[in-house]
Amino acid sequence: MCPGCNAMDTLAFWREDQVDVVACVKCGHHRLQNEKQLEKHLRPQEQVIGIFHPE
């Protein structure tokens, strides 16, 4: 769900220069996240199954 317009199934994901980009194709809202930002959000007590890396 888009945090900008709350539309379902409108998010597109891609990677540019080692930065993950998520954007809503309906309203244009977007978010950038790199690997270091992602690592800060992982907590030691949680189990991560995997991180999706499209190539």
| Residue 35 tokens, joined | 């690997």
Q: What six digits make up the tokens of 46?
A: 């949680």
Alpha-carbon distance of 49 to 31, in angstroms, equals: 23
* pLDDT per residue as tens digits for the range 8-48: 999 998 888 778 889 999 999 988 876 555 555 556 666 66
What is the predicted pLDDT for the residue at 26? 94
Residue 39 CB: number of other CB atoms within 10 A? Answer: 9
Quote the pTM value: 0.55
Count the domains in the chain: 1
Predicted local distance difference test score (pLDDT) of residue 30: 86
What domain range includes position 49?
Answer: 1-55
